[in-house]
Amino acid sequence: MKLNGHFDTLLKGTVNLNQTRPDQLDTRVTAILNFLTSDSVIGALILGGHLPHPHR
């Protein structure tokens, strides 16, 4: 279930984060995923842009 709208409301209304911080987070996560997917060993473990979680 996607709750992006609720999460955006939480960030803006409750946590009061300006848009710069979520943008920085998105940029940094993308950079890390790009680095990891380019690795010959770790890259094969990444499914759909995310590392699998051990608890699943």
Does the pTM exceed 0.85?
Answer: no
Asked whether residue 1 carries a pLDDT value surpassing 50, the answer given is yes
CA angle 16, 3, 47 (to 5 degrees): 110
Residue 36's contacts (CB-CB under 8 Å, 6 or more residues apart) are 42, 43, 46, 51
Please tell me the predicted confidence (pLDDT) of residue 28.
92
2-55 pLDDT, tens digit each: 778 888 787 777 776 778 887 898 899 889 888 988 998 888 887 766 656 565
Asked whether residue 56 carries a pLDDT value surpassing 50, the answer given is no
